[in-house]
Amino acid sequence: MSRQDGSGRLFSPPGADDAGAHILHVDMDAFFVAVATLDDPSLAGRPVVIAHNDQRSVVSSASYEARRYGVRSAMPLGMALGRCPRAIVVPPVFERYREESARMMEVFRSITPLVEPLSIDEAFLDVKGVERLWGTPGEVAALIRRNVRDEVGIPCSVGGAATKHVAKMASTATKPDGLLMIPATRTQEFLDPRPAGSMWGVGPKAAEALANRAIRTIRDVRETPVASLAAVIGVAQAQRIHDLAHGRDPRAVQTERVEKSISHEETFRYDVTDPALLRAELLRLADRVAVRLRRAGAEAAGVAIKLRFDDFQTLTRSQALSEPTAVGNRIGSVARELFGAIDLRAPVRLIGVRAERLVPAGSAALALWDDDTEWKQVEGALDRLSERFGTGSITRAAFLSRAPERPTADRPPENG
């Protein structure tokens, strides 16, 4: 099925068994760094960190040369430079990442129409039915790797399996710049020895909780009753990871991606201790989230907030809504209620608002009355003015007097 190189990376040799492995997960290797190297070839083979070059910045991505020193995404830049003093800091250029991501997705779609982008640097593909054109799943995976390198100029890793979960695990196991195919009949053989924390959706805290009960491998998860798992990580997650540990994952590749949440967050240039400023920032972010909801034709059935303190400890709070909404004032009101219940034990460096449990606009049953009617009219008028005069041209008067200094909005760290 696979071989292992000196670094522990798994890979499939040419002609390896790939029967039933029609779902591919393609993941770009250190994508932000790879794009930076396209623009500046002198960066090749050197320890590179993608981050804004100031003391408040965090690492968006790091080259594999930098990772050998323990540098990781989301790490404070100061800590990264402490571990790797010779690292070259390159500012992120998100427009370039979007350009190269679009080229990459076109390569995928030239092979199969069944492409599901997961993020800017990864996607699922279903290659069942294209065998007459391109060959077996393993041959298609090899073709994709060649075409991405030839047409985009950057490396990628590909995992193939009978399910999305196993395909994603395979691409992780073969990084960087590898190919690993898991035939359907050997799914359990691949899964069983791998760490429970390597499963998609099992975070560090859940992995630690499982390890405390001597549940360390996927085989341990598979052999543990669901009720016992539920006592550790909750009923919903227990059933899900129990199914995944058995190789059960019915999810198909979805060509139309539906966002599950919409969020905005900001990192302040200086830590903020003033609750009034933080409440104002929550409302500003809620307005931005609401604009994106309306543009997407969606409403939120839940609201969450995120706070990161000066010591990088992070907490989130969420609340379900009685009725879905895309009104910024309503989202902001809930966000501020959540904020009011938090003990501000330390200065805040980052704050965010997220709309969750999205549903199509107007899909909920109509209420007898609508407390947000006037705000809907106001925000609808603001949308029309923004379309005419540009985003940011119209804002609340409350935001004009005092505003915390902030750099460019944070982006999610890169996966690869």
> Whole-angstrom Cα distance, residue 36 to residue 47?
12
121 is in an annotated binding site: yes
DSSP string, 19-80: TT--EEEEEETTHHHHHHHHH-GGGTTS-EEES-SSTT-B-SEE-HHHHTTT--TT-BHHHH
Alpha-carbon dihedral angle through residues 326, 256, 138, 104, given to the nearest 10 degrees: -70
**Under a CB-based contact definition with an 8 Å cutoff, are residues 221 and 245 in contact?**
yes
Residue from 80, 52, 248 nearest 165 by CA: 248
> Whole-angstrom Cα distance, residue 403 to residue 393?
16
**Under a CB-based contact definition with an 8 Å cutoff, are residues 140 and 111 in contact?**
yes
**What is the phi/psi pair of residue 383, to 5°?**
-60, -45
- Bridge partners, 319 (sequence order): 303
Sheet containing 48-50: order of strands: 61-62, 48-50, 88-90
Residue from 243, 221, 244 nearest 232 by CA: 221
> Whole-angstrom Cα distance, residue 26 to residue 20?
17
Residue from 308, 263, 270 nearest 74 by CA: 308
DSSP conformation class of 269? E
Query: Phi-psi bin for 322: left (phi > 0), alpha (psi -120 to 50), beta?
Result: alpha
343 is in an annotated binding site: no
> Whole-angstrom Cα distance, residue 351 to residue 265?
6
Active site residue 122: yes
> Whole-angstrom Cα distance, residue 31 to residue 416?
6
Active-site position among 116, 122, 299, 414: 122
> Whole-angstrom Cα distance, residue 142 to residue 130?
14
**Under a CB-based contact definition with an 8 Å cutoff, are residues 88 and 101 in contact?**
no
Is the peptide bond prior to 193 cis by the omega test (within 30 degrees of 0)? no
Residue from 297, 292, 285, 296 nearest 335 by CA: 285
Q: Binding site: which residues? A: 27, 121
Return the active site residues. Answer: 122
Which residues make up each annotated binding site for Mg(2+)? Answer: 27, 121
